[in-house]
Amino acid sequence: MRSLPCFCRGQVVRGFGRGSKDLGIPTANFPESVVDNLPADISTGIYYGWARMDNGDIHKMVMSIGWNPYYKNTKKSMETHVIHTFKEDFYGQILSVAMVGYIRPERGFKSLVTHGCVFLPDELIAAIHSDIEEAKIKLDLPEHLKLKEQHFFKTPVSTTANQILNGHRL
Ligand code: ADP
Ligand code: MG
């Protein structure tokens, strides 16, 4: 994918409350304004990369880009699971991510909702955990580690919310 690494920034909004947090895999959602501006060659699926909340530390992440059931699958969603344990939720904060590599096509993070209950098959949970392990290993490669030093992660975030910056233009 030509657009990788892809740098995105936006405020964390509420998702559709699919209860992924209860399963130990919370996913922070980007607003539509960020999703709508993704480069055209970024396809749906699971990505790995770096994430930072507001002006905090940079952590490893996995991201699912998929079709948003709330809009009858006509709109995409971008959901980031930060590989770090936070003391509190961070709705409303600015999430900055560098999408670095692609793991696999969409299948992950998608849950079946039946009569208001969330159903995630064990197989799917195992797949997500294996995505997380793959992300951890790949991100330790020198060419990926150096992305943490990008100007994008050094600047204070407040004035630059809701952006997509193609890495090649930075
Ligand atoms: P929602 O449907 O609102 O996205 P989730 O169950 O997916 O709810 O939980 C996502 C929220 O959990 C995020 O918006 C964030 O505030 C919080 N959160 C806490 N820890 C993490 C983490 N490690 N990665 C992503 N989100 C996290
Ligand atoms: Mg979520």
Residues less than 5 Å from ion ligand 2, measured at CB: 15, 27
Q: Of the candidates 36, 64, 166, 37, which has an alpha carbon nearest to the alpha carbon of residue 124? A: 64
pTM for this entry: 0.89
Residue 123 has pLDDT above 90, yes or no: no
d(CA 146, CA 167): 13
* DSSP code at position 13: B
Question: Cβ < 6 Å from ligand 1: which residues?
Answer: 12, 14-21, 26-29, 81-82, 84, 86, 89-91
- Residue 62 bridge partners (DSSP): 48, 81
Report pLDDT for 77.
92
Per-residue tokens: 127: 């797949």
Average confidence (pLDDT) over 89-106: 94
The mean predicted confidence, pLDDT, of the chain is 85
Active-site positions read 79
Contact in structure between 67 and 107 (CB atoms under 8 Å):
no
